[in-house]
Amino acid sequence: MFDSHCHLTDLEEPDQALKDARHGGVMSMLTCGYHEPSNQLTCALHERHPSLPFALGLHPWFATQDLENVLQLIETHHPTAVGEAGLDLWGDPPCHPVERQIQVLEAQLQIAVRLGLPVTLHSRKAVDLLYSVLRNHPGVQGALHAFSGSYEQARRFLDLGMYIGVGGSVTRSRAQRVRHCARSIPLDRILLETDAPAIGMDGVEPPHVRPAHLVIVRDALATLRQQPAETIEAATDENASRLFGISFS
Ligand SMILES: [Zn+2]
């Protein structure tokens, strides 16, 4: 299994979490930076574990940090993916002005296309705007992590060639929209993720979520889609290999 979006550097014991994950069958994962300190820590972690896929980026919550610095880091380290990047329009006003958020996102989309890297994207209350930004950047490959929109909205991103990240929310029986979407999207476009330690799931709450808990997400999705867990696992592993250009077992 592959955890397509997590934050090992937010854990006190990233090396242990990595070990536990592998022990539980989560053989690899994409660990994502999201601001200056976490990008530095992610690079350091990657140096200790050269086979660990990693992403570097600037999350919309930190859109006022030094963008040039992040772009330089991406250029130098050539990570597996760019991100966590995206748009967050939650709140009135949102965390940072929308114009700045778009500028930060577009710069990261451009460098991703130029270096041939996929992106891992955050979207909160911003699905339609994110879609129109992506549509203006042909050639962007990537995934919408922890997607919480409707199936109809997901459809538009699928048409752009994007993948959809399915995470802990799918384990919650009250998350009807997320569950409907996860049931309906084609299996060859789904990625599993924990977003550890940030997003809870049935039986595990933040900050205790670890990549090893990905098995709970896989099983919930298997039940929901009425498909064997092995089928879900094999397909999502293949999707991750294809999108991130990596091999793992
Ligand atoms: Zn995240």
Which residue type occupies 112? A
Distance 7 CA to ligand 1 centre (A): 7
pLDDT in single tens digits along all 249 residues of the chain: 999 999 999 999 999 999 999 999 999 999 999 999 999 999 999 999 999 999 999 999 999 999 999 999 999 999 999 999 999 999 999 999 999 999 999 999 999 999 999 999 999 999 999 999 999 999 999 999 999 999 999 999 999 999 999 999 999 999 999 999 999 999 999 999 999 999 999 999 999 999 999 999 999 999 999 999 999 999 999 999 999 999 986
Distance 132 CA to ligand 1 centre (A): 22
Q: From residue 185, how far is each of 41, 52, 133, 178, 224 by CA, in Å?
A: 34, 28, 22, 11, 12
Largest CA distance in the chain: 46
Distance 158 CA to ligand 1 centre (A): 20
Cα(17)–Cα(15) distance, rounded to whole angstroms? 5
DSSP secondary structure letter of residue 67: H
What is the pTM for the complete model shown? 0.97
Distance 230 CA to ligand 1 centre (A): 26
Report the residue count for the chain: 249
CB 30 within 8 A of CB 80: yes
At residue 192, φ and ψ (nearest 5 deg) are: -90, 150
State residue 65's pLDDT score: 93
Distance 31 CA to ligand 1 centre (A): 9
Distance 195 CA to ligand 1 centre (A): 5
State residue 248's pLDDT score: 81
Distance 169 CA to ligand 1 centre (A): 14
Helix (H, G, I), strand (E, B) or coil at 140: coil
CB 70 within 8 A of CB 39: yes
- Ligand 1 is an ion; its neighbours by CB within 5 Å are 84, 195
Six-digit token string for 35: 């601001």
Distance 62 CA to ligand 1 centre (A): 13
State residue 110's pLDDT score: 98
Q: 2-244, superfamily in CATH?
A: Metal-dependent hydrolases (3.20.20.140)
Q: From residue 158, how far is each of 35, 177, 187, 198 by CA, in Å?
A: 28, 17, 11, 25
Tell me how crowded residue 26 is: count the other CB atoms within 10 A of its CB: 25
State residue 190's pLDDT score: 98
Distance 223 CA to ligand 1 centre (A): 25
